[in-house]
Amino acid sequence: MRLLLAEDDPRIAAHVRRALEAAGYLVDLAADGEEALFRGETEAYALVVLDLGLPRMDGLAVLKRWRAEGRHMPVLVLTARGAWSERVEGIDAGADDYLPKPFRVEELLARVRALVRRSAGIGSPVIEAGRLALDTRLKEVRLDGVPVALSALEWRFLSVLAHRRGEVVPVGEIVEQLYGDDDARDANAVEALVARLRRKLGADAVETRRGLGYALPAAPSPA
Ligand code: CA
């Protein structure tokens, strides 16, 4: 899944980005408020991590603009330590959760997972779809209970579909969530990825709707 990280402190940005990427997300970075605003208006993100203290345009103003424009992606705001009024303002402006600095990156990851899940209407950190179970905490996929080794890209693909299980996800959206701005990637790359996954997980693991997109089954297979 594709996330936007808006953070001007290069050390925090690099640290958080590394952790998010290791957790399987594709991360775009914005180092100021104007860039964050623009990216949030033009790209589809599964979630935004938004520092409130940003140059050029502060995070609160960015968030208010997005919400006024009807953009509903989940937003986790990063606030200064002890600044309770910032937190109140952030939540009132439409933030879904907040994290005061300094924070442990493990906590940020847990909050990101929970927000992405909640926005997909999924309660459990283990998402079941057909014979597959995706454990979002361990970044592990199990087929009939047995863990399967997957590449980062394969995980990201299944994660996008699992968060919308039972729904056909259009190829264009999948390409964006997997590759971001990389123009060289297209539907053919996704098709090749699905072919690899079918070899690992069985022919019926991922449903293809010709010309439309891909889907995972809505519910676990009956035992
Ligand atoms: Ca800052």
> Which tens digits make up the pLDDT trace of 13-32?
999 999 999 999 999 999 99
Looking at 119, 151, 180, which one is the last position of a domain?
A: 119
- CA-wise closest residue to 162 among 120, 192, 191, 123: 120
Report CA(72)–ligand 1 centroid distance (Å). Answer: 23
Q: What is the pLDDT of residues 196-222, one digit of tens each?
A: 999 999 988 899 988 899 999 887 666
Residue 88 lies in a domain: yes
Same domain for 141 and 59: no
Report CA(127)–ligand 1 centroid distance (Å). Answer: 34
Report CA(160)–ligand 1 centroid distance (Å). Answer: 30
Report CA(10)–ligand 1 centroid distance (Å). Answer: 9
**Prediction pTM value:** 0.90
Which range marks the domain in which residue 108 is found? 2-119
Report CA(22)–ligand 1 centroid distance (Å). Answer: 23
Tens digits of pLDDT across the chain (223 residues): 999 999 999 999 999 999 999 999 999 999 999 999 999 999 999 999 999 999 999 999 999 999 999 999 999 999 987 788 888 999 999 999 999 999 999 999 999 999 999 999 998 999 999 999 999 999 999 999 999 999 999 999 999 999 999 999 999 999 999 998 777 788 899 999 999 999 999 988 899 988 899 999 887 666 5
Same domain for 154 and 101: no
Residues 158, 21, 47, 108: what is their CA dihedral angle, to the nearest 10 degrees?
120
Same domain for 113 and 14: yes
